[in-house]
Amino acid sequence: MYTTKLFNLGILILAAEILNLVGVFSPCWTSESDQVGMSFCYGIVPYDSINSSIFPWYAASSWLMFITVAFSIITILAYFKVQADVIRDGYSCGSRKWFIIISVCAMMTVLLTISAITVLGVNFSKLSVYYISYNLGYSAWISISAAVFYLIASGLSAHISYRDCC
């Protein structure tokens, strides 16, 4: 018994997974611009130990985002498992735990993404000087959009687990 709720959950998880991977592995997490108009972008991948030793908060944000990739992989694997269970047995009591796992992992991804971006944003004000300013680059905004998709997926997964499963 494959329903549109499960299909929509899969679409949300797929979109969030793609956006999260693009956000984490794209090269513009930090945008540095000066008065002349020159701007540079820095990513969190590859992990820069020199930059991370100077700015430990940058390393913390990097690791938080790497952990979000792990949670997103767990989320998509749990979705494949629950999809197979629902196709085989319908919304059984055993599939409820998988929907809860999806919901918890998606919510952890949201919280870790918000934490990583908050750590970056708070420390940019300390780092900026008169002639150089630091801002969030497009990679951070892509990760924020992935977090929005994961938030919706978490809510839908929790709804399915408590409404449709026995």
Structure-derived torsion over alpha carbons of residues 90, 166, 157, 84, reported in degrees to the nearest 10: -20
Q: Report the alpha-carbon distance of residue 81 to residue 11 in Å, rounded.
A: 15
Averaged over 110-138, what is the pLDDT?
86
Supply the pLDDT for residue 138.
Answer: 94
Number of domains in the chain: 1
What's 130's DSSP letter?
S
Q: How far apart are CA 59 and CA 37, in angstroms?
A: 27
Q: What mean pLDDT comes out for the span 83-98?
A: 92
Residue-level pLDDT at 64: 95
20/32: higher pLDDT: 20
pLDDT of residue 1: 56
CATH number of domain containing 144: 1.20.140.150
- More confident: 141 or 31: 141
Domain of 67, in residue numbers: 4-163
Residues 32-45 have pLDDT tens digits of 887 787 888 888 87
pLDDT confidence of 107, banded at 50, 70, 90?
very high
39-77 residue pLDDT tens: 888 888 776 666 677 778 888 999 999 999 999 999 999
Give the residue, 124 or 108, on which the prediction is more confident.
108
User: How far are the Cα atoms of 5, 7, 24, 55, 56 from residue 52, in angstroms, in the given order?
Assistant: 43, 41, 16, 5, 5
Amino acid at 143: S
Q: Which residues contact 146 (CB under 8 A, 6 or more apart)?
A: 16, 17, 19, 20, 23, 109, 113
Q: Tell me the one-letter amino acid at 89.
A: D
